[in-house]
Every structure is written in C-alpha cells, then in structure tokens.
Structure 1
Amino acid sequence: MFLLILTFWAATIYAQAQTAPDTVAPARPGFRHALRLDVGGILARNFAYNALNENTQLLLPVLVGYEQQLGRRTSGSVEVLLNGGEPTERASGVAMQGRYYLYQGHQTGLAGIYAAPTLSYRAIKQEVYYSLTTEKRKLGGAGVLLGAQLPLGGRGRLLLDVSGGIMTWKRLDQGPKTTVPGYYDNETFYERNSAVFDGRLSLGYRF
C-alpha cells in the first residue's frame, strides 16, 4: 500500500510537470511549518492488539509532529509520542528527523517525496509478571524513513503524510544485576528485534 501511494504520487506530479506550461506559478511559497497527527498508528495498534487478545481494549497512542522548512528542499522535524505501546508495555518518547525532499514537481513548502534520517528516544514502562512492580527501560533508535507528503484540497494547507522505514534500537540504561535463579529478563519489543519497521500515516496542517 505504501509503495502504491508513492508510485501514484510520483506519477501524478510527473504528469503535471510534463503538461503544465512554464509560466504556471508554483504552489504557495509561504508554507514553512506543519503540524501532524499519526492516525495510522492508532488504527494499526488497535487492530494488531485486539486481533490477538480476547480482552479487547481501545488504545490511543498519540504521535504528534512539528516540521519546519530549513532550505529549499530540507526541513527539520520533532515528534513526541505519548501513551504508546500496549497495556502491559507503555511507551513514550521523542524523535528528531531531518528531511530531504527528493522530488517536488511544482510543489513547494514541505510537500513531495522525501528521505528522512531519524534519531529517536523511547522510555518503556512494562509490567513484570513475577511481581507487582513495573520495570522502566530507556532505548535509543536510529534509522531512515522514505515517504511522501501530499497536499490535500484546493488551498493545500491540509496534508497527508505517508512514510515507512527501518529503525534499529539499543538499550541506553543498565539492565538489572541479579543472581536470583530463574530470573528472566523481560526484553521489550524493540530489544527482541534487531531491526523494526516504523511507519506513519498522518494527517497534517501546514502554515
């Protein structure tokens, strides 16, 4: 689905570039800021969790992002995650992302196909099954996302942002030191996998 959206977007703006006269003015150049909410993460998290668990719950992970244009094709972005993860493994954190817009066609101002190197921090709080306590972990991640940010509507202020990529994660704090027989280290989802898919399906507003 992600590749289909990218292909359709690239074909559309390529066709516009081939058919539009040279005198056509570019899109409004004043859009240098954008706010986004990842709605795809909410849908995906609820579907994945409730499909595998009998005790269904409504999960509301909140991932919001702010992007600011830095150059003609570059921007910087900050994302904040709240209430992420599952009931037994909650996640929060912040990410910094640099974007380079590889192709924009006649679009300007935070629109087009982009590559985005990303650095991320996650604080994980998970339930420990052998006690009544919770365990906290701090993780750092790095990776690259490929995506497309598309303007919606005639004025172009509304945005659809679709991206996907790979992140690798490493624990930043020290693990518990214990010699208790039978102790089991409850690794988080990020630690159990050397590479994790990361994606966005966000709605946004640029100004």
Structure 2
Amino acid sequence: MIRNSSRIFRPARLLTALLLGAGLATAAQAQTTPDVSASTKPPYTNALRLDIGGALARNAAHNIMNSSPELLVPVLVGYERQLGRRISGNVEVLVNGGEPDERLSGVALQGRYYLYQGRKMGLLGVYAAPTLSFRNARQQFYYSTTTYKSKLGGAGGLLGVQLPLGSRLLLDVSGGVMTWKRLDETELSSLPSHYRYKTYYEEQGTVFDGRLSLGYRF
C-alpha cells in the first residue's frame, strides 16, 4: 500500500514543482520588465516662468525714444499646469508694465496645445496658445496732476516653443498678436480734445505680443 501511494503522489509533486517554477519565473520577469505606463508619464506637470524679453525690449525702446534714460522694471510671471497629454492651462500676472506715463497691470488666461513634442514630454515642444487678457492702465500726463484710469480687454493668440535647459530649467519663446478694446468709459471731458488720452493699446488696436521667458519645472 505504501508503494502505491508513493506512485500516486509523484505526479502531484512534479506538477507542484512545475507550477512553483513558473510562478518564480513570472515574478522575475515582472521585476526586470520596465513599466510602460510609468515611463510614458510626464516627469513634470507644473512650470513657473519669468519674462525677461519684455523688460529688455521695453527699456531699449523707451531709452531710444526719450532723451532722458530711465530704468523700467516690468514683472510678468506665468504659471502653467498640464491638463492632458498635449494640453495645458496658463495664468500670467503683470505688474509695473508699460511706460512711466502709462503704467499697466493685469492678468491673462492662456490655453496651450502642444503641436509637436517629438520624444519630449512634460510641457515641452512647439505650441499654439489662444489668449484672453485684462489690463488696468493708469495715465499720468506731464501737464496735469490727475491720474486717468482705463480698463482694457484683449484677445489673440501666440505661437511658440518651450525648450529644456537641463532637467528642470526651461526657455519659452513665443510671438503673436493681440487685439485690444476699452472696457470702460472714463470721463475725460476735463481734458482738451487735442491732447492724447487714449492708451497705446487703444490707439494701435492690434499689436504684436511676445515672450522670452526663463522657467522652472516641478
């Protein structure tokens, strides 16, 4: 009886060994095979940027056009958040923009669609960006102590590219056009009609807009 039972258990032992070996092989393969879903996940989904091109261009233009040089310090900061594989949302805040006699501040909302990224991921590549913007303008004329305020709304779009500078730093370069319109009706009856009271954006209507920014991804 003992012989017969040992013969019966031999196939079961063999089957158990085979199953155990297959399980160990599967576990080893799972450890050595890279996770495809993890490798395709963008490493960074947020970015902070500071525009430096606007400050340089504004200072150059102002000092060329005026006999008395002056340092202008406009601050334009942007925050970008990835919303999809190729889509992101961007918020910009402007402080101390414009010129000494026409100061600008405000916010802008921008959606970005990355047209081409190649092998790059995480807020990098060539993009198109429709933009809505709001500006507060304060005008101070040399012949008057009164400050005139205006509210402006703008709509347009930018085409640009965002490139990596190392693992986390990035460079953002873009250009496009914005069309501006006055949102309020400020009372200016006290001013003589031949004096300029419109803001630069109102006079031009549609103007070039661009960015040359340094950023940090996280």
TM-score range, shorter chain: 0.7 to 0.9
The runs of at least 4 consecutive aligned structure 1 residues that moved more than 3 Å come to 25-28, 179-185
* Counterpart code for 1:81: L
* Counterpart code for 2:45: R
Please, what TM-score do these two structures have when normalized by structure 1? 0.83
* Counterpart code for 1:64: V
Larger Rg: 2
SS in 2 for 1:160: strand
Could you report, residue by residue, the CA deviation over 1:123-149 in whole angstroms, capped at 9, with x for unpaired residues?
Answer: 000113442111000000000100000
CA–CA distance in structure 2, aligned partners of residues 183 and 142 of structure 1: 29
* Counterpart code for 1:158: L
Moved more, 99-108 or 124-133: 124-133
CA–CA distance in structure 2, aligned partners of residues 171 and 114 of structure 1: 29
Retained in 2: the 8 A contact 1:26–1:107? no
CA–CA distance in structure 2, aligned partners of residues 176 and 183 of structure 1: 16
Which of 52, 56, 68 is 1:55 aligned to?
68
Retained in 2: the 8 A contact 1:27–1:107? no
Which of 10, 20, 33 is 2:46 aligned to?
33
CA–CA distance in structure 1, aligned partners of residues 115 and 81 of structure 2: 17
CA gap 1:64/1:27 in 2 versus in 1, 3 angstroms: farther
Percent identical residues? 66
Please, what TM-score do these two structures have when normalized by structure 2? 0.79
Which of 168, 171, 179 is 1:168 aligned to?
179
Give the aligned partner of residue 133 of structure 1. 146
Retained in 1: the 8 A contact 2:149–2:186? no
Which 5+ residue runs of structure 2 have no aligned equivalent? 1-35
Could you report, residue by residue, the CA deviation over 1:148-207 in whole angstroms, capped at 9, with x for unpaired residues?
Answer: 000012x2x100000000000000011326387646451110000121000000000011
CA–CA distance in structure 2, aligned partners of residues 52 and 185 of structure 1: 17
Which structure has more RCO (C-alpha within 8 Å, separation ≥ 6)? Answer: 1
Retained in 2: the 8 A contact 1:31–1:206? yes
Retained in 2: the 8 A contact 1:36–1:202? yes
Kindly report which structure 2 residues correspond to 1:64-83, keeping only aligned pairs within 5 A, or say none: 64-83=77-96
Give the aligned partner of residue 9 of structure 2. none
* Counterpart code for 2:160: G
CA–CA distance in structure 2, aligned partners of residues 106 and 53 of structure 1: 47
More helix by share: 2
CA–CA distance in structure 2, aligned partners of residues 158 and 96 of structure 1: 23
Retained in 1: the 8 A contact 2:135–2:153? yes
Retained in 1: the 8 A contact 2:179–2:207? yes
1:194 aligns with 2:210: no
* Counterpart code for 1:202: S
* Counterpart code for 2:114: Y
Q: What is the number of equivalent residue pairs in this alignment?
A: 182
Give the aligned partner of residue 121 of structure 1. 134
